[in-house]
Structures are given as C-alpha cells and as structure tokens.
Structure 1
Amino acid sequence: MIVLPEAFVRVTVDREGPAGSAWLATLPATVRELAERWDCTPDGDPLYGGVGIVVPVQRKTTEPAVLKVSFPHPENRFEPDALSAWGGRGAVRLHERDDDRFAMLLERAHPTTLAQAAEGDEVATIAGSISRRLAVPAPAGLPRLQDRAAAWEEQLLRDAQDFPDALQSRMVQAATATVRELAHHQPDTLIHGDLNARNILAATRESWLAADPKGWAGDRAYDCGTLTKSRSVVFAEQRDLAKGIHRTLDAFTSAAELDRERARRWAQLGAVQAAYGGRRRGFRRGRHGSERARLIALVDELARILTDL
C-alpha cells in the first residue's frame, strides 16, 4: 500500500475540507485497484502536485510510467482529452484513463521541472516553443474560454466595487477592455491552460514535455499570461520584476510566434484577476498571513507593470 506524503494530505485537507479528507481515505485503495487493472507495479515513492498524486509504476511491458489520480474537480476533467489530442506532441503520452476516478496512466518523464533546470530567457523560450507545438484544433466537447468572458467581466465589476482602493481604475479598465475586445471571440485552438514552468518536465523522448493541462479551447496568447504570473515570483526575489517581465514577454512570444501586445493584454488581465482573487481567497502558496500579503503586493505590482508597458 502506498503512503501518502504528509504535505499533500495537509494541503488537500486545507483546500477541500471534509471532501478532501474523504477522498484521501480512499486514495490508497484506488491506486492499488488501478495498478492491478492496468497491469503495473509501484516503482518508487509517490510524488504530488497541486491537486493530484503521481505514483511511479512499471508496466508489464517493462515500460516506466506513472499513475496519476487527481482530486475530482471540474477543471481536472479535460486533462486526458487534451493529452489524447496531442498524442505525445510536446506533452506526455496518455496510456490509459479512468474518467470517473480522475485517473490516468501516463508516460513517465523526469521529476525535474523547467523551473528547476533553466533560468532567465531560456524558461520563456522553451515554454513558448512548447505552446507553439501544442497548438492543434481543439476536440469537440472541451470548454471554450470565450464562454467565460461574460462571467469574467461581471467579476471584475464586482471586485472593483468590493475592493475600491485595491487597484488604480486604469488597471481595471484595461483588464475590462481586454475581456470585451479579446475574450468573447477566440479560436478553437487547444491550449494548455496552466502553462507554468513547473508543468514542463525534463524527459527522455524529448528534451521537455508539458504535463497537467487544463484542456481548454481558446487564444494561445492566454498561456503567456500564466507563465508571466508564475515567473514574477522569481523576478521579485531577484529584484528585477519589470525587466524580467519585459524579457519574458519578448522570449515567449518570439518562440511561440505570437503577437506580443496580445500576450501582454492577456497577462495584464490575469494579473488583475489574481490581485482580486488573492484578496478574496488567498493563493495556493499563501492562503493566510504575511505570505498572502506579500503575494498580493506582488501581483498588484505585476498588474501595474503590465498596464504601463
């Protein structure tokens, strides 16, 4: 029987409450049953991400793989659809799936992430190249980002009313304009949806492979905003936030073959949404106290920089 990492248990219960505790109680048995069904044997200590556990396994074909089981959340539902559509093109391969249990058997990559192995412009260049390779027609049935546009605008208006002194009005106006001008009509292109450097893994078949996609259809420039926001923590620690953001936009859009201004606007919208979301709910890496306050200050500054570019 697998032993669940204590940190994963703690974070899951903190985020999901009693539902998380109930899911964790059944998780070891779920992993055992799936391993038996898919003819594989545990082959190392479990790893974990934000919402799921990853168990290294050895398939009967002697091929190394991983068994991933995620907490049953609607935003995790389309991950196997995205991986299936890519078929290993720039992303880990999908071998088996159990949608009812939010479980998959996947190609095994290395545990080293792009965030750990690369620095500076190289991170954005590799992520941009991955984004370009993942750009394929979205399968039918995937959620469309454009369907969220009306809710995004309503939320921005509500946030501005509830937190009137949080952000300058020009920052909120710029984010609202992006929703109105870019979000309502988007291409049916499959995008990752959470393309940060921790979701790009070193691999053997290719140098780098994407993992943990949301599986949305929309504007590829949206993914630049996700990367920019995640990189801002690194740049802030290096006391180089503005310059780092400039260079990230340049490197990502060049490698991804995207319009820089369009990517900047998506990134600015994401930063404004994060600034308000942090005030309402906290952040994954800082839900309370001084860390939450530090991250709110960071995304506020990120939103200002992206508005002024």
Structure 2
Amino acid sequence: MITVPTGFAQAIIRREGEAGRAWIASLPAIVESLLRQWSLAPDGPATHGSVGLVLPVRPSAVIKVSFPHPGNVDQPDAFAAWQGRGAVRLLARDDDQFAMLLERAGPDTLACVADDERAVGILGELSRRLAVPAPAGLPRLVDQFPLWEAEFLAAGRPVRVLDAVRELDQRDTVVHGDLWDANVLAGSREPWLAIDPKGCAGDPAYDAFTVIHGPRLILAPNHLWWLDFYCEAAGIDRERARRWSLLRAHQSALWGRDGGDPDWLVRATDQIIAELGPA
C-alpha cells in the first residue's frame, strides 16, 4: 500500500474540506487498483504537485492521480493532442479515477538552467511546438470572457483590457495554460518535456504571462524586453502577447489580493501591469 505524502494530504484537506479528506483516505486503494489494471509495480516513493499524486512505476513511467475536480478533467485530452510533441507521452488513462499513466521524465526541471535567456528560449520553443489544433471538447478561453468581465466589473478592474483581447481574431490551438520552469522536465526522448497542462483551447499568446510572471523573471527589470524575447522564440505576435499578458496580470492582481498573496508579489504584479502599458 502506498504512503500518501503528509504535506500533500494536508494541503488537499485544507483546500477541499471533507471531500478532500474522503479522497485522501481512498487514494491508496485507487492507486493499488490502477497498478493492477495496468500491470505495474511501484518504483519509488510517491511525490506530488498541487492537485495530484505522482507515483513512479516499472517499467519506466509514472501514475498521476488528480483530485476529482472539473478543473482537472482536460489534462489527458491535451496530452493526447500533443502525442509526445514537446510534452510527456500519455500512455494510458482512467478518466473515472482522474488518473493517467505518463512517460517518466525529470527529476531536473527547467529551473536547473541558470541562463535566463536560454531558459526563456526553451519555453518559447516549447510553446511553438505545443500549439497544435485543439480537439473538440477542450474548454475554450473565449467562453470565459463573460465570467472574466463580471469579475472585473465587480472588482472595479478596467474592462478595456478584456475588450483589447476580445477584439483579436481568436485562435483554436491547444494552450498549456501554466507554462513555467517547474512544469518543464528534462527528458531523454527530447531535451525538455512539458507536464501539468491546464488543457484549454485558444491563443498560444495566453502563456506569455506565465513566463514573465514566473519565479525566474517576476522580479527582473524590463518585462517588455523579456516578452519580446519569448515571443521571438515562440513565433507569437508581440502585441497579441502584450494584450493577453496585461489581461492576465490584472486577473493575477485581483485573484492575488483575494487569495492573500504576499505584499511583494502584489507589488511585482502591479509593476508588470505598469510596464505592459495601457490596453
């Protein structure tokens, strides 16, 4: 029987309440059933991200089981669309258990690359490769516009930054949604492989904000220069990326204040908003 990491269990219960407690209690049995279903054996202790348990297995792969939440439904479809192109391969899936069998990569992440320009260039190249046609059924970013507008109006945020994105011609590619150092692992089949996509359909320019707002660059000077550098590597129009990043920066500031982000992070996000300029 696997051991669920204590910190992971506590975080899930704190965030999800009794539903989280019940899921954590059931997790060892879920993993055991998946090991039998896929004829696998554990190959080390379980690790975790923010929403899922990850167990290395033999032969070389990992089982990922995520908390059963609507936001965790679409990862397998993103991996299936990529077919290993710039991302770990999806080997099997059990949607009822919110579980996937994935190609093993790592343990090194892109954070191990000290050279900022090289790392941002890698993120850009991955973004270019991940921008494949979206399959039917992936949630579309444009369908979120009414919700975002309501949030902005309620909080007194400028709706014009949303209008500036809404007036763009809308794309329909697979968007990672959370592309930053920790979600890129060193691979053997390819040098770098993306993990943990949100799984949505839309404009690849959406991911530019995560790059400049991630730990590597959030306190760096001249975010517009880094935006340009990333866009060049990703093959993304700089103005599209600027508009999406401005929208997402305002969202981050709004959600961060509600979520109790530390003051330094709030100030850094406000600085990015100032640098990106008006809508």
How far apart in 2 are the matches of 1:119 and 1:270?
Answer: 26
Check conservation: 1:242, 1:305, Cα contact below 8 A: no
Establish whether residue 55 from structure 1 lines up as the match of residue 55 from structure 2.
Answer: yes
Establish whether residue 303 from structure 1 lines up as the match of residue 273 from structure 2.
Answer: yes
Written as runs of structure 1 = structure 2, the 5 A alignment for 1:161-180 is: 172=158, 174-180=160-166
How far apart in 2 are the matches of 1:128 and 1:203?
Answer: 17
Q: What is the CA deviation profile of residues 59-98 of structure 1, one whole-angstrom value per residue up to 9, with x for unaligned ones?
A: 3xxxx00000011111210110111111111110011101
- Which residue is equivalent to 2:36? 36
Measured after TM superposition, the shift of residue 175 of structure 1 is 2.0
- Which residue is equivalent to 1:194? 178
How far apart in 2 are the matches of 1:50 and 1:178?
Answer: 32
Aligned residues: 279
Q: Which amino acid aligns with 2:45?
A: D
- Distance verdict in 2 for CA 1:194–1:26, change over 3 Å: same
Q: Which amino acid aligns with 2:163?
A: A
- Which residue is equivalent to 1:248? 226
- Which residue is equivalent to 2:76? 80
2:187 maps to which of 197, 200, 203 = 203
2:63 maps to which of 61, 67, 79 = 67
How far apart in 2 are the matches of 1:22 and 1:234?
Answer: 38
Q: What is the CA deviation profile of residues 237-257 of structure 1, one whole-angstrom value per residue up to 9, with x for unaligned ones?
A: xxxx332x2342122101111
How far apart in 1 are the matches of 2:114 and 2:184?
Answer: 11
Q: Which runs of 5+ in 1 are unaligned?
A: 161-168, 287-291
Establish whether residue 257 from structure 1 lines up as the match of residue 253 from structure 2.
Answer: no
Aligned CA RMSD, in angstroms, stands at 1.8
- Which residue is equivalent to 1:119? 115
Measured after TM superposition, the shift of residue 234 of structure 1 is 4.7
Check conservation: 1:149, 1:179, Cα contact below 8 A: no
Establish whether residue 97 from structure 1 lines up as the match of residue 93 from structure 2.
Answer: yes
Check conservation: 2:57, 2:63, Cα contact below 8 A: yes
Q: Which amino acid aligns with 1:129?
A: E
Query: Per the alignment, in what secondary structure is the counterpart of residue 221 of structure 1?
Result: helix
How far apart in 2 are the matches of 1:190 and 1:152?
Answer: 20
- Distance verdict in 2 for CA 1:176–1:140, change over 3 Å: closer
Check conservation: 1:52, 1:71, Cα contact below 8 A: yes
How far apart in 2 are the matches of 1:156 and 1:53?
Answer: 34
Q: Which amino acid aligns with 1:211?
A: I
- Which residue is equivalent to 1:221? 205
Measured after TM superposition, the shift of residue 146 of structure 1 is 0.7
Query: Per the alignment, in what secondary structure is the counterpart of residue 277 of structure 2?
Result: helix
Question: Which range moved further: 113-122 or 215-224?
Answer: 113-122
Measured after TM superposition, the shift of residue 277 of structure 1 is 0.6
- Aligned-residue sequence identity (percent) comes to 50
